[in-house]
Amino acid sequence: MTSNKFNYPDKEGFFGEFGGKFVPETLMYALEELENTYSKLKDDKDFIKEFYSDLSAFVGRPSPLYFAQRLTDKYKSGNIWLKREDLNHTGAHKINNTVGQILLAKHMGKKRIIAETGAGQHGVATATVAARLGLECHIYMGSEDVRRQSLNVYRIKLLGAHVHAVDSGSATLKDALNEAMRDWVSNIDDTYYIIGSVTGPHPYPMIVRDFNSVVGQEVIKQSKDLFNKMPDAIVACVGGGSNAMGIFYPFIEVQETRLIGVEAGGKGVSTGEHAAPLNDGTPGVLHGARSYLMQDEAGQVKDTKSVSAGLDYPGVGPEHSWLKDIGRAEYVAVSDDDALKAFHEVTELEGIMPALETAHAFAYLEPLMKELDSSSNVVINVSGRGDKDINTVAEIDGIEF
């Protein structure tokens, strides 16, 4: 869908030395089937038309690029623009990918949909598109996340999907992914697995990126219309990295635009209690791909820590690892405390309540704007809205309902 001189992954699914297909043999045929289907459909006029028509009428695209007056006034060193993915149907960028993947599932004749979810946004987005097509849907979610994202759990159930709480390991996103993969191995013939980020084995990182890159494509057009040049910087939060990859990808060859990914710094990168593999990890293999990973010397995956369920993941999409190593994107980390401060600040200054994930991107404005001059334009990808996080924030602030 996106033509780009930066032509990755290669045919084995690698972005440089990252990516690949590291899965049990049973899954190989399903990945091949998906790859074949996608390579046929991605340039098919009818398929593209159907995808963009759903994005328009069902999701509500394009999402606005909104000028944040009061944030701009606060920093006084450049214009701050918000890419409003929070205004999408279901409240986050996640729907772009699920709308695309459910069309693949339909073309492949799959009757059963599974997905993992962290913050619950991907679970909601998957349950939504499955409901629309009347497909059976199962969502795997770590039991810790079921607790802290109870609102989204209820939304998923209202949409007719089954929620499976996962108790193994750290009971968060990575364990939900493990369990979804086990389900897929066991039900491979009739089941389509909608992975929710640019993670997992090839071809998922490519497919999820492509479906989400509608965000970056819109920003290119909107930047021309609104300020007649390309942004000086784009800032997006990175857990698995799908919202960041979606907005970064069309800009990879736009050299004047800095691409900045913000990871979850948890209690601080130096404490080791965080979820920032690009800042403090080493390459390893998890969930089907080689990428930066939080692991110990024995190759065991470390537990992560973040106030944000959607960023609480020890790995990251392989293309981000590649963009880091070739120096095309910068990856920084923001602590829980700074993200919470930004959550309140943006809500009060702009009347926009960002998801805690997104709040990490906002928090990075503080150091970033000091480096920029007043003629610059910065785009923040507002990956999702914060309604789902009200319980978490209230709990931290000591408020009981």
Partner 1 sequence: MNRLTSTLSNLKANNQKALVAYLVAGDPDMDSTLDLMHLFVESGVDVIEIGVPFTDPIAEGPTIQRAHDRALKNNISLKMILSLVDEFRKSNKETPIVLMGYLNTFISHIDLVQATGKDGIDSILVVDIPGELNLETYGISNPNINTISLISPTTKENRVELIANNSTGFIYYVNLRGVTGSSNLNISEIENNIGRIKKYTDLPTLAGFGIKTTEDAKTLAKFSDGIIIGSSIVEMINEASTTKEFDRIGKYIKDMKIAIS
Give catalytic residue positions.
94, 116, 383
C-alpha atoms less than 13 angstroms from C-alpha of 182 in its C-beta half-sphere: 10
For the CA atoms of 233, 387, 209, 18, what is the dihedral angle to 10 degrees? 80
**Of the two residues 24 and 272, which places its CB atom closer to partner 1 in the complex?**
24
**Of the two residues 78 and 281, which places its CB atom closer to partner 1 in the complex?**
281
Kind of pairing between the strands at 136-142 and 162-166: parallel
Using an 8 Å Cβ cutoff, are 225 and 272 in contact? Answer: no
Pattern 113-152, binding to partner 1, x per CB under 8 A? ----------------------------------------
Tokens of 73: 């006034």
Does 11 sit near partner 1 (CB under 8 A)?
Answer: no
Does 108 sit near partner 1 (CB under 8 A)?
Answer: no
Only segment of 28-36, 126-134, 205-213, 238-246 that touches partner 1 (CB under 8 A): 28-36
Does 272 sit near partner 1 (CB under 8 A)?
Answer: no
Tokens of 148: 């802290």
**Of the two residues 35 and 232, which places its CB atom closer to partner 1 in the complex?**
35
Only segment of 1-9, 29-37, 94-102, 359-367 that touches partner 1 (CB under 8 A): 29-37
Kind of pairing between the strands at 79-83 and 65-67: antiparallel
Note every long-range contact of 340-344, with CB atoms under 8 Å and residues 24 or more positions apart, other chains counting: 340/307, 340/393, 340/396, 342/366, 343/386, 343/389, 343/393
Does 189 sit near partner 1 (CB under 8 A)?
Answer: yes
**Of the two residues 32 and 256, which places its CB atom closer to partner 1 in the complex?**
32
Using an 8 Å Cβ cutoff, are 122 and 389 in contact? Answer: no
Using an 8 Å Cβ cutoff, are 389 and 357 in contact? Answer: no
Does 185 sit near partner 1 (CB under 8 A)?
Answer: yes
Does 287 sit near partner 1 (CB under 8 A)?
Answer: yes
**Of the two residues 183 and 345, which places its CB atom closer to partner 1 in the complex?**
183
Does 367 sit near partner 1 (CB under 8 A)?
Answer: no
Does 22 sit near partner 1 (CB under 8 A)?
Answer: yes
Largest CA distance in the chain: 57
Residue type at 128 in one-letter notation: T
Does 281 sit near partner 1 (CB under 8 A)?
Answer: no
